[in-house]
Copies of this chain bind each other. A is one copy, B any other.
Amino acid sequence: MTNQAGIRLAVIDTDSSFLTVLGKRLEGAGWEHRVLAGSVPIDELVAMKLNALLVDISVLGPEGWEFLERVCGAIPGLGVLVCTSQSTVAQRVRGLRLGADDWIGKPSHPEEVMARIEAVVRRRKRATAREDVGPLVSAELEIRPDQYQAFVSGQSIGLTRREFELLQLLAEAHGQVIEREQIYQKVWGYAMAHGDRSVDVFVRKLRQKLQRHSANWRYIHTHFGIGYRFDPEQVGTVVEPELRVVEEQLAEAEALSEESVAVDLRSR
């Protein structure tokens, strides 16, 4: 649900022809990838936040096995595939038992390599599924994916599913302008029909609920002709507590409020 398309991949190999051919395909598919020349400390691998690691165990020499074992043990969420030429059954079995998810012979068609990586990542995603998403806090807002809900000072602001997904998408992009088409594509899951106003309508509902619970912040900004941007901004003077209640009550009556501040492109 989060990152739909691309896979983050690191390749440990030195076989330049294999690397160029594979690299081209990876580019084409839009995967983020980087090439490593040899063994790398575990914590650096962790920091890369990879989905998968493709390694030619022969470039690591004898310590390759130990490396493989440590990596598989230390990063449970990482898919590990060995891709190497000339291997025996015993080696392959050893690699797989040590924690590798697949063992591919060389030469192999890059398309198959990618399909195998996909298969490994797919399986792993299913297993890891939950728990990976912590709450996201921004200004007075707390967005909790595990509750499908956003909170202001511990209180739910009563978002529906779509509203929440929209807010989450915008908040994750924090500061970036997202085009309507992209928003629709990601939240609704399919292409936006020409003239569809759903995104606008949902932005309005979101703004209403945000405003109602967090009155002196503006969270969503309009970029004319493009889309929307999430970026909390404190607005106006600090309001006295008593007045606050009144303001909330009147919030709806204010038909012509300045809340919809359209922001010029240059402003960011």
Contacts and interface: CB of A to CB of B under 8 A. Distances in A.
B127 A100 contact: no
B148 A177 contact: yes
Contact of A126 (B127, B156, B158): B127
Stoichiometry, as copies per complex, reads 2
A28 to B, nearest CB: 15
B258 A253 contact: no
Contacts of A226: 148, 161
Interface in A139-178: 146-149, 151, 154-156, 158, 160-161, 176-177
Interface string A257-268: 111100101110
Contacts of A254: 212, 252
Contacts of A103: 116
A248 B258 contact: no
B112 A89 contact: yes
A123 interface: yes
A128 interface: yes
A69 interface: no
A250 interface: yes
B147 A177 contact: yes
Task: Bin the interface of chain A by size.
Answer: 35 or more
Among A96, A149, A176, A255, the one with the most B-chain Cβ atoms within 10 Å of its Cβ is A96
A158 B225 contact: no
A259 to B, nearest CB: 4
Contacts of A128: 123, 127
A96 B118 contact: yes
A76 interface: yes
Interface of A: 76-77, 79, 89, 92-93, 96-97, 99-103, 109, 111-112, 115-116, 118-120, 122-124, 126-128, 146-149, 151, 154-156, 158, 160-161, 176-177, 205, 208-209, 212, 223-226, 229, 245-246, 248-255, 257-260, 263, 265-267
25 contacts: A79-B123, A89-B111, A92-B112, A96-B118, A99-B122, A100-B119, A101-B119, A101-B120, A101-B123, A103-B116, A120-B123, A123-B127, A127-B127, A127-B128, A147-B177, A148-B223, A149-B177, A149-B265, A158-B259, A160-B258, A161-B226, A205-B258, A208-B258, A249-B253, A251-B253
